Amino acid sequence: MNQIFALVDCNNFYASCERVFDPSLQRRPVVVLSNNDGCIVARSNEAKVLGIGMGTPYFKAKDVIEKNRIAVFSSNYTLYADMSNRVMQTLCGFTPNMEIYSIDEAFLALDGIHENLDRYGREIRKRVLQWTGLPVSVGIARTKTLAKIANHLAKKSLKANGVLDLTQNTYIDLALERTPVEEVWGVGRRIAAKLQKQGIVNARQLAQMDTGWIQKTFSIMTVKTVLELRGQPCFDLEEVPEPNQNITVSRSFGQEIESIDELHQSLCSYVSRAAEKLRKQGLCVQGLTAFAMSNRFHTETAYFNSGSVIFDTATESSLELVQAIGPLTQRIYRDKVKFKKAGVILSQLVPRDKVQLNLFDNRLNRDRDKVLMQTLDKINRRGKQVYFASEGVVQPWKTKFERKSNYYTTRWDELVKVC
DNA sequence: TCTGGGGTCCTAGGACCC
DNA sequence: TCTGGGGTCCTAGGACCC
């Protein structure tokens, strides 16, 4: 079966989401910041032209930002998740065979489409823009890796104007030649540097490399990448997502903390958030790790510590997890350290209905816990926050979001008003 | 002064066993 | 006390993705 993949990718997703609900941003450059307003993680095209790089620390770009009246936003994940859903719903209308690859991208199987693929891609683009207000680019090819490349070029090239069909062999070589090796999906900084040292600077050269040498020098993953560049599919559409193997919740603090109480509060807060995610996926957890660290950029005072517990019986109870945080905090805390970041990792996850019961399970009230958690989740789903006292009330460590836009789509009092 | 978060997969090397 | 090799399992660390 000859497969055809379309990669649909939202342009500058977070920045575009902000624009949808604020027309005054239409011609202004826009950037969106990471958690804690730390780095720039999304830029409108105008901001890119001004030379603002992906991942630039906000404070380093402040001069350019002020000089050019760039609009700055903290991340508004609630808004972006909602907009992402709308995009994915729209794409569903084109094919049921779809893989949601990330918050702003999806692979679509276009095998059965008999009409002109370029025209079909333009129809996708038009409808998503019309229904959601978000601009997307569409790359079409016979492997996922080539679809990624087609998508890149569709974004960059004026002639392509948002859609590029690379299913015809005639154009593939040219497209590969125009793609720097570091832009190939699966080739990161390290592998790119090594390849460039060998004189391999574009995707076309990479496609021609001996796979034996690639396997020896890198790994089986890079071999697959090379084969995909040659048009030989190695990665399938993954329509049903695999369940998570880990759930992590970690944050940088709004300000550094030194007291064990505050560290404990933050970890309790993160673990209860992680437990929510856990229950939402119908999973229980057996391994819990907590970690805390100082500012990683101050290498001379660097501190990192972590501790783990294994539960005898896998649990989904926030109560049990929060209780376990106490001793873990004791273990990883150290006097006089300025903590900048902490987090928890849930590992050894098992589906709720496959939990092995332990003969010596001595935790009482497991059933009562279960009902309590259901109630807790139900209340918090409606927006009202119920949380553990151990998470603290003042929370001076809380992550900063000082320039967040409104929850335009999920809160009645923050809807856009048309006057 | 200010520098994100959440994932996956692969490999090398150590521990352990026979 | 010394000697060897092969297999498996686990973990830490590296590399990648968005």
Indicate whether A36 pLDDT > 80.
Answer: yes
Rounded, the Å distance between the CA of A287 and C1' of C16 is 25
pLDDT band at A364 (very low <50, low <70, confident <90, very high): low
Rounded, the Å distance between the CA of A294 and C1' of B18 is 46
Alpha carbon distance A176, A195 (integer Å): 15
Q: Is the CB of A185 less than 7 A from some atom of nucleic acid strand C?
A: yes
Q: To the nearest whole percent, how much of chain A has pLDDT over 90? A: 84
Q: Is the CB of A12 less than 7 A from some atom of nucleic acid strand B?
A: no
Using DSSP, state whether A97 is helix, strand or coil.
Answer: coil
Minimum CA–C1' distance nucleotide for A193? C15
- Helix H segments across A203-259? 203-207, 211-217, 220-229
| Strand ranges inside A300-338, DSSP E | 304-315
Minimum CA–C1' distance nucleotide for A185? C17
Can you tell me the mean pLDDT for A191-199? Answer: 96
Indicate whether A8 pLDDT > 90.
Answer: yes
Q: Considering only residues A26 and A356, tell me which one the structure prediction assigns the higher pLDDT.
A: A26
Which nucleotides of chain B have an atom under 7 angstroms from any protein CB? Answer: 1-11
Minimum CA–C1' distance nucleotide for A338? B1
Can you tell me the mean pLDDT for A21-28? Answer: 93
Q: Is the CB of A190 less than 7 A from some atom of nucleic acid strand C?
A: yes
Can you tell me the mean pLDDT for A303-315? Answer: 92
Which tens digit of pLDDT belongs to each residue from A51-60? 999 999 999 9
Q: Is the CB of A293 less than 7 A from some atom of nucleic acid strand B?
A: no
The single residue listed with the structure tokens 């390849």 is A195
Which tens digit of pLDDT belongs to each residue from A168-185? 989 999 999 999 999 999
Indicate whether A158 pLDDT > 80.
Answer: yes
Minimum CA–C1' distance nucleotide for A37? B4
Residue-wise over A231-255: b if at least 16 C-beta within 10 A, else e? bebebebeeeeeeeeebebbbbbbe
Minimum CA–C1' distance nucleotide for A36? B4
pLDDT band at A384 (very low <50, low <70, confident <90, very high): low
Rounded, the Å distance between the CA of A194 and C1' of C15 is 13
pLDDT at A368: 86
Q: Is the CB of A366 less than 7 A from some atom of nucleic acid strand B?
A: no
Can you tell me the mean pLDDT for A402-409? Answer: 93
Phi, psi of A247 (to 5 degrees): -130, 120
How long is chain A?
419
Indicate whether A31 pLDDT > 80.
Answer: yes
pLDDT at A29: 97
pLDDT at A418: 79
Q: Is the CB of A297 less than 7 A from some atom of nucleic acid strand B?
A: yes
Which nucleotides of chain C have an atom under 7 angstroms from any protein CB? Answer: 14-18
Q: Which of A36-45, A203-212, A280-289, A358-367 has the lowest mean pLDDT?
A: A358-367
Minimum CA–C1' distance nucleotide for A216? B11
Alpha carbon distance A79, A90 (integer Å): 17
Alpha carbon distance A263, A130 (integer Å): 47
- Helix H segments across A337-414? 366-381
pLDDT at A356: 81
Q: Is the CB of A104 less than 7 A from some atom of nucleic acid strand C?
A: yes
pTM: 0.94
User: Which of A245, A247, A241 lies closest to A350, judged by CA?
Assistant: A245
Which tens digit of pLDDT belongs to each residue from A71-124? 999 999 999 999 999 999 999 999 999 999 999 999 999 998 888 999 999 999
pLDDT at A1: 61
Rounded, the Å distance between the CA of A144 and C1' of C2 is 57
Q: Is the CB of A148 less than 7 A from some atom of nucleic acid strand C?
A: yes
